[in-house]
Amino acid sequence: MSVTTTEPLVGGLLAQEVLARARTMVEPVLRASVDSLGEPLRRMAGYHLGWWDATGTPLSSESGRALRPALTLGAAAACGGDPADAVPAAAAIELLHNFSLVHNEVMDADPLRRGRRTVWSVWGITNAILLGDALQAQSVEVLSTRLPGHLTAKAITRLQTTAVDLCRGQYADCAFENQSRVSIDEYVSMAAAKTGSLMACAGALGALCVGAHTHTVSAMEIYGRELGLAFQFVDEVIGIYSDPAISGEPVGNDLRNRKKTLPVIAALESGTDAGVELAALFESIEPLTAEQVTRAAVLVEQAGGLALTLRYAHERLAAAMAALPADADTGDLEQLALLLTERGR
């Protein structure tokens, strides 16, 4: 199934170039930060980031997409500044993002991410938790040592507020598993904290680092938050309907685990026959069988869950684009907006 929320992506190559440039600019700071951890945290962090295997042998494959760092650097450029001035903030955002990934993998008991074993499945839960804690600490260290002094307090305050938002969002997401009913509003609030807040911070820090006006910083924050929600909504659709060769994850994994994603919640609230049948499938606590996963995916679409989720994604994407200042050079941000909502997972 094709996941499309807007007109077909234009300039996809340019979007990939935006990401590649961000990786090139940010990776030296990330590597220095990881190296400072010492062993065994250094090896665990580099493994998680895709730089080497579990033994420390370097890998030739490309590491990470650098979506959030690219957003930070793009926001700096859009404000008329030098993206290089925002590199420390971009690196801090990426470190905080990976803190949340390592911890979330433990909480979700995910053995794989993009076809590779997760940190906890290699080194154990205790060590994975410690690595996540270290990455979060390093995100603050990067800001405190690499930004000009007049920016440090503001940047760290934003980053730490975002860390709390991430935890709030993850708490809500986990709590949904034990709730018999989750409303669309509850889901959107969770996604705004778990996904939207970090991308909002990425946009705001990019503007802040180049001395943008308060109004412009706020505009970049809104852009990031709305884009983050669009990203999350599309991600929920991909989690049900993606080709595993693209996503690197088992098809229908979210359905198999009865995860209350937006398409599922919308289908359950639809009042349709398909929604009622889906609710019956979700009553059991056992993982769905392969046949049930296939049937559930059909029911979500029949009940309108797919259409509603894609509509919500389109609306949030439009809101993100509308937030950008009319006189800003937003080419990179426009490319990222299209790429993030028309992608493989």
Q: Quick check: helix, strand or coil at residue 211?
A: coil
Give CA–CA dist 91/30, Å, rounded.
Answer: 6
pLDDT at 115: 83
At 114, the pLDDT band (50, 70, 90 cuts) reads confident
Mean pLDDT on 309-326: 95
At 13, the pLDDT band (50, 70, 90 cuts) reads low
Closest CA to 202 of 256, 162, 241: 162
Tens digits of per-residue pLDDT, 187-207?
999 999 999 999 999 999 999
pLDDT at 262: 97
Which domains are delineated in the chain?
Answer: 12-341 (1.10.600.10)
Give CA–CA dist 237/297, Å, rounded.
Answer: 10
> Which own/partner pairs from 326-329 qualify as long-range (CB within 8 Å, at least 24 positions apart)?
328/78, 328/79, 328/80, 328/216, 329/77, 329/78, 329/80
Tens digits of per-residue pLDDT, 117-138?
999 999 999 999 999 999 999 9
pLDDT at 2: 40
At 180, the pLDDT band (50, 70, 90 cuts) reads confident
Mean pLDDT on 73-88: 97
Query: Cα–chain-centroid distance for residue 121?
Result: 21
Asked if residue 83 has a cis previous peptide bond (ω within 30° of 0), the answer is no
pLDDT at 248: 53
pLDDT > 60? residue 108: yes
Mean pLDDT on 266-292: 93
Half-sphere exposure of 212 toward its Cβ, with a 13 Å CA cutoff?
Answer: 29
Mean pLDDT on 254-278: 94
**Mean pLDDT, the chain, integer:** 91
Write phi, then psi, for 50 (nearest 5 degrees): 85, 15
Read off the tokens for 193: 């904290």
For tokens 């990939």, the residue is 16
Cα separations (Å) of 12 from 314, 321, 337, 342?
18, 17, 11, 10
pLDDT > 60? residue 247: no
Tens digits of per-residue pLDDT, 90-103?
999 999 999 999 99
pLDDT at 9: 34
Mean pLDDT on 224-236: 95
At 328, the pLDDT band (50, 70, 90 cuts) reads confident
CB within 8 Å of 7: residues ≥ 6 apart: none
Give CA–CA dist 197/191, Å, rounded.
Answer: 9
At 64, the pLDDT band (50, 70, 90 cuts) reads confident
Percent of residues, the chain, with pLDDT higher than 90: 78
Mean pLDDT on 274-297: 92
CB 199 within 8 A of CB 228: yes
pLDDT at 256: 87
Give CA–CA dist 51/32, Å, rounded.
Answer: 13
At 8, the pLDDT band (50, 70, 90 cuts) reads very low
Mean pLDDT on 29-55: 97
